[in-house]
Amino acid sequence: MQALLDRLHVVMVETSHPGNIGAAARALKTMGLSGLRLVAPQCHPSAEATARASGADDLLMAASVYGELAPALADCTLVFATSARIRSLNWPMLDAREAGHLAIETAAAGGRVAMVFGREDNGLSNEELALCQRMLRIPVNEGFDSLNIASAVQVVCYELRMAALAHSGQPSLPPVGFTPRANGPLAEITVAEMEYLFVHLERVLVRIGFHDPAAPRRLMPRLRRLFQRAMLDRHEYSILRGWLAATEEALPPG
């Protein structure tokens, strides 16, 4: 998978705030990317960028710097221009997820891919857009489309990593002892029903002397986690409720 990510590049054009460059470097490294290219940054290197990189300063210092956009894209076979706005341009527009999958397919075929991020205040010029083949749009809130450039880089890098994981057949998260059910819905019991179960369970445990509410030992929170992890189906839930009811009936009154 790393070979795919190594063929992906984030290109930032005339970034004015050095903190955004540092935060972008952090975003790349967090998602396993390393190809940061800077086009005419207004302030680089910078102590603020290093601070915002928060441990990704190695990637920040290794960033390639160019005087204009064209040389930064010279070795790329697929170039996306990113935007939070819908532009009146007659060319293919993809959301970040679709773009991520296309980028990984291109990388898997041996190509190099660039994700181009424009200036904080006015994005990319028409001449710069002409160097790109696709428009990548992050579908933000139409009532407030002001997305910080470093945040946009993080969103795109996340989608690139998820697409790379899917292409490589790797899980997005390491296993934690939970296996989804092969048959039937993943979750059948409502929150309200689970609460009835926990109340019933605690009542029975108190009556048999196993649980003392005055000295709880965190017993109920642990039992909650146990049953929540189990993702009970309807039949299992009914067995537990029936068992608790039968236990309660067998106890002496009191």
Cβ distance 140 to 86 under 8 Å? no
Which pLDDT score, from 0 to 100, does residue 87 have?
A: 57
150: tokens are: 């470093």
- Residue 121 in any domain: the answer is yes
Q: For 108-147, what is each residue's pLDDT tens digit? A: 999 999 999 999 988 999 899 889 989 999 988 888 888 8
- How far apart CA 213 and CA 207 sit, in angstroms, is 11
Whether the model pTM is above 0.85: no
Cβ distance 74 to 125 under 8 Å? no
Residue 123: DSSP 8-state: B
Residue 226: give the domain boundaries: 191-250
Do 86 and 134 sit in the same domain of this protein?
A: yes
Do 13 and 69 sit in the same domain of this protein?
A: yes
- Alpha helices (H) along 148-233: 149-168, 191-207, 219-230
Last residue of a domain, one of 108, 134, 168: 168
Do 122 and 244 sit in the same domain of this protein?
A: no
Q: For 10-46, what is each residue's pLDDT tens digit? A: 999 999 999 999 999 999 999 999 999 999 999 988 9
Do 6 and 108 sit in the same domain of this protein?
A: yes
- Residue 130 in any domain: the answer is yes
Do 197 and 160 sit in the same domain of this protein?
A: no
Domain of 227: which CATH number?
1.10.8.590
pLDDT band at residue 177, thresholds of 50, 70 and 90? low
In the chain, the number of structural domains is 2
- How far apart CA 100 and CA 160 sit, in angstroms, is 5
Do 61 and 140 sit in the same domain of this protein?
A: yes
Domain of 89: which CATH number?
3.40.1280.10
